[in-house]
Amino acid sequence: MKVCKYPGGCEIENQKRFDAGWCSVHRRRLVRDGDPGPPGLLRDPTRVCKVDGCDGKFFAKGFCEMHYARKRKGWDMDAPRQVRYRKGQVCSQDGCDRVVSAKGFCGMHWKRNHDNRDMDAPPKTRNKQLQVLDTTVYRFTDGAGRLLYVGITFDLDQRIAQHRHSQPWWDDVCIVTSHTEPTRVDALAVEAAAIRNEKPAHNVIHNGVA
């Protein structure tokens, strides 16, 4: 096992690259400054970003990597941190089972949201068979019988998993009921009518909230 030849012992852990007997950190300092410097790293591993409320790891000039990039590009330093979506997570739009592309939406709904178009319009697709597939209408109810949410999906298990991981109200769900409509268009109509008439707590579209 190679060991850095720093006098008195090198304190930099997990070094895998060596040159002329030095670890990569001390070799770089030696070539750049003519002095290998202190035995350990110059950065304090506990140091955090200087932006109020940010506990991100220090990266450069007092900032974490995200705020350093925003500072360089002149972006809003106080903007909320973007949510990173897991690979395979489905679109957050009611009744859409497509994989997330950006900002919680699939490509189609992200484009509609960006252009301020109708988010609830049926998808325009060359695959006409999609519109005639059996579609599940599902309902979430709490222990007191209060309707929490109504939605549609082609894959109920996947949609439930998405709600479980993304919705803060999921712990209130006690009962899941569902039925199948012969086409997506029929399911959308049933969903819209249920939301307008029964006012589920957490639906936005058709519920007079948006």
Which residues, other chains included, contact 26 with Cβ-Cβ below 8 Å and sequence gap of 6+? 4, 6, 10, 12, 36, 37
Q: What was the pLDDT predicted at 210? A: 40
Burial of 106 (0-12, 13-18, 19+ CB in 10 A): buried
Q: What was the pLDDT predicted at 179? A: 93
Distance (Å, whole) CA 65 – CA 46: 15
Structure tokens at 127: 């695959």
In 3D space, the residue among 104, 105, 100 whose CA is nearest the CA of residue 87 turns out to be 100
Asked whether the beta carbons of 95 and 188 are under 8 A apart, the reply is yes
194: number of Cβ within 10 Å: 18
C-alpha triplet 39, 43, 45: angle, nearest 5°: 105
Burial of 74 (0-12, 13-18, 19+ CB in 10 A): exposed
Instruction: Tell me the pLDDT of the chain (210 aa) as tens digits.
Output: 678 877 778 877 777 777 788 888 878 888 887 888 777 776 667 778 888 888 888 887 888 888 999 989 888 888 877 656 556 677 888 777 777 877 788 888 888 888 888 887 776 655 555 555 788 999 999 999 999 999 998 889 889 988 888 888 999 999 999 999 988 888 888 998 999 999 999 988 766 644
The answer to whether the pTM exceeds 0.75 is: no
Asked whether the beta carbons of 152 and 138 are under 8 A apart, the reply is yes
Asked whether the beta carbons of 156 and 178 are under 8 A apart, the reply is yes
DSSP secondary structure code for residue 108 in this structure: H
Domains of the chain, each with CATH number or no CATH: 44-80 (no CATH), 128-198 (3.40.1440)
DSSP secondary structure code for residue 62 in this structure: T
Distance (Å, whole) CA 50 – CA 60: 10
Q: What was the pLDDT predicted at 88? A: 62
**Would you list the DSSP string of 41-52?**
-SS-TT-B-SST
Distance (Å, whole) CA 125 – CA 3: 61
User: What is the distance, to the nearest Å, from the Cα of residue 160 to the centroid of all Cα atoms in its chain?
Assistant: 17
